[in-house]
Structure 1
Amino acid sequence: MPKPLRADARRNRERILDVAEAVFDAKGTRASTEDVASGAGVGIGTVFRHFPTKTDLLKAIIGRGVERMAAQIQVLVDEGDPATAFFEFFTRMVAEASSKKTVVDLLGEAAEDLRADKPIGVWRSAIEALLAKAQDAGAVRADVQPPEVLALLLGTCQAAVSAGWDERLRDRTLAIVFDGLRARGPQP
């Protein structure tokens, strides 16, 4: 069990993560740890004390993102309209991808590693619940499965990032994707 951090070390760690998230969102995974240290107002040694490698820092950022998204999805599962919450979630993810490069990295990890013992397993469970509720409400085709949803999310988010979609193109593209997901007529 790791030794608890002092209050100032906890603050530094959180500030590093906040700045790193902004830096990597703006510059993608090619951003440097020096950029992060400078933005956080700490030395590079402080960054490496908390995150020995750039990969460790990226994993921490992705972990925070997974937890945030899982919480947002859970609110939609618990409180959202079953007929619209699934589409709201999908739209939110693509909108974030348009402005945040790390969302695509996160989705890539989700597609590669869906074990329930990791935070991404919680995220996947929430997506499954959203999908099931939408299908029960007759809003999404009964033959759509979670791996297909993740594939569509990843592909759409990657396209939004690489092509620099504006809001109008994003909305038109999502309308086409959603048309393919929507239930038609009686469900089996």
Structure 2
Amino acid sequence: MLRILIRPANLVVITLALFLAVGCSGSREQADSSIAEANAAIAEHNQLFEEARSSYDEAKETIESGRESTGESTSSGGTTSGADNAQEVEQVVQARETMQDARERLQDARDPLAEVQDLDVEQEIIDYTALLSEAVEAQILAEEREIAYYEILERDPTLSENREEALSLLSEAGGGYTEARDAYDRAQEVADANPELLPAG
């Protein structure tokens, strides 16, 4: 069995680099505060997400270097030492745990964004944060699938018994990241069309 790990879909770097215009009403100030709170959680998420993907890349490189050192080819199986296998698993575990931390931080952005929906503010602000909430939810679900993929790798680093399930999870994760990106892009369109309400921060 080929010892090849599939690179998950590129992350959706959700950023809320937009803040409401200054000199606004109490509701607008509250909306601004909520967006800032969500922004802080998302910024932490993005950093952890990058760290998780970096750990996964390290595991992938370890596997590929093991293939080269043992002369493994695309037409024959190969072996790696117990130490190499343990290192691979440890790196995958680190990727999973960091991704779980990232996902938890992203979940912290849910409530602040939802709070804006109940405020007496312009409809454009409501639409903007609703689309951002949609992007966050899609991202959370996609990361859940990626975490499940890492869990499979921990049990079966060669994917000799679980390749189809792993590929299915990656496909679902990729679809989720695409959905998140689409929602985020639509949110940015709302912001770009309303610079007087949502100026670049």
| TM-score (normalised: structure 1) | 0.30
Relative CO higher for 1 or 2, CA cutoff 8 Å, sep ≥ 6?
2
Q: TM-score, normalised by structure 2?
A: 0.29
